[in-house]
Amino acid sequence: MEPGLLRDGLTLVVGLCAGVLSGAFGVGGAIVSTPGIRLLGVAPLVAVGTTLPAIIPSALSGGSRYRAEGLLDWRAVLVVAPLGLLTSVGGALASGLVPGEGHLLQLATAGLLGFSAWRMAPRQPAPDRQDDEGDRQGGGDVEHARAEPAWRLAAVGALAGSLSGLLGIGGGTVLVPGLHQVGGLSLRSSVATSLVCTAIFAVPGTVTHALLGNVDWRVALLLAVTVIPGARLGAAASLRLGDRRLAGAVAAFLGVIAVIYGIGELVALVS
């Protein structure tokens, strides 16, 4: 599609959808925005670089909504983010050593996300309404998370960074289940903390792609215009859900992404 008012309008829609996804599930939103702007005619490498600047305001916007509810764990951010930045470099360097021209890496991504979806799917009877109200407030969950050993959070950051660099996926798809299942954070605090870490992870990538000329700043600005309110809407919707429903929504999201990755790479391998 040629640049013009129609493409600009559709780019705004893509940004809104990416923002909602980011705020609701603690991811960067590039899962939607990158293929979205590719369909609008942006070149592959430029599409990757262009979505990164929009991830930062999107993640910070959604994170601020959770922060207002007292759900953002800054201790976890300080432990996870620096180590994740370091290991993402190592993961990126190691990606060229894996055989299969990237297809095996993407199949590994699908398997990882599918396993996380299975682990996070709710299996207990639904709590009563009073429990759901307490879950929505999220008061005691952050305190419990801060009692967890720091090494667990560091391990999650190292894993998220490594897989982000190695598999080329957003850190949030790994951070949310990792912080919840391994780091001991509540699910809602995991989403909030993941958003801030995702914004931090996007900074060096943005700088690198900008220096290489891989950022279409017109498209990036249009995405940023709508990802910010979209992230606020997604976070607000997430906060209205009880923990069981939120866990089901996150598990379903990860499962859908796992199927898309898996089918796409299997087709590519056999074709």
pLDDT, one tens digit per residue, over 11-49 is 999 999 888 888 887 776 777 787 788 888 888 778 878
pLDDT tens-digit map of 138-195: 444 444 444 567 888 888 888 888 877 666 566 777 788 888 888 888 888 888 898 8
CB distance 229 to 19 below 8 Å: yes
Measured in degrees and rounded to the nearest 5, phi and psi for residue 42 equal -80, 135
Does this model's pTM top 0.85? My answer is: no
* Residue with token string 């008061």: 139
Contact criterion met (CB below 8 Å) for 59 and 202: yes
Which residues 6+ apart lie within 8 Å of 204 measured at CB? 85
Residue 229's pLDDT band (boundaries 50, 70, 90)? very high
pLDDT digits (tens, 9 = 90+) for 83-138: 888 888 777 677 667 665 556 666 776 777 677 678 767 765 544 444 444 444 44
User: What percent of the chain clears pLDDT 90, i.e. is strictly above it?
Assistant: 9
- The DSSP annotation for 185-226 comes to --HHHHHHHHHHHHHHHHHHHHHHHHHTT---HHHHHHHHHH
